[in-house]
Structure 1
Amino acid sequence: MSRRGNCWDNAVQERFFRNIKLEYFDDLIFMNCQAVEVAVGRYIRYYNYSRINSAIGYMTPLQKRRELLKIG
């Protein structure tokens, strides 16, 4: 943890949760907790493998990771 009051501590998590709420959960209604778990898993797979991100050069997070690790 960084020092108290550092506003960047949770920036990545806050951005992800904002995206999942606005892009995916906005129009969904869930019957139980298991349905929420399945929906979150689907969104994470979509976010990592399909959704392009302008901040990382219009690549998916997986493509960017492979580029950084030089995996091909």
Structure 2
Amino acid sequence: MESFFGTLKSEFFRLTRFDSIKQLQAGLRRYIHYYNHERIKLKLNGLSPVQYRTQLLAA
């Protein structure tokens, strides 16, 4: 979890300014979706975390 929060702070909070709580919530939802579904990790054989887990469960 510490790694996730460190990445969240460096990639999301420090690059974005929010004018309301609703903007922050929507941005967090988009970022978490990106982090789990679209972010490619070399450690996971070039797959996103969701793709990697799905592949493991199908085997």
Gaps of at least 5 residues in structure 2 are none
Equivalent residue, structure 1, for 2:31: 43
The alignment-based identity, stated in percent, is 34
Q: Give the partner amino acid of 1:16.
A: F
Equivalent residue, structure 2, for 1:31: 19
User: How far apart are the structure 2 equivalents of 1:44 and 1:27?
Assistant: 15
Q: Give the partner amino acid of 1:68.
A: L
Offset at residue 64 of structure 1 (A)? 0.5
Equivalent residue, structure 2, for 1:62: 50
Q: Which has the higher helix share?
A: 2
Equivalences, count: 59
Gaps of at least 5 residues in structure 1 are 1-12
Coordinate RMSD, CA, aligned: 1.5
TM-score, normalised with respect to structure 1:
0.71
**Larger RCO, structure (CA 8 Å, separation 6 or more):** 2
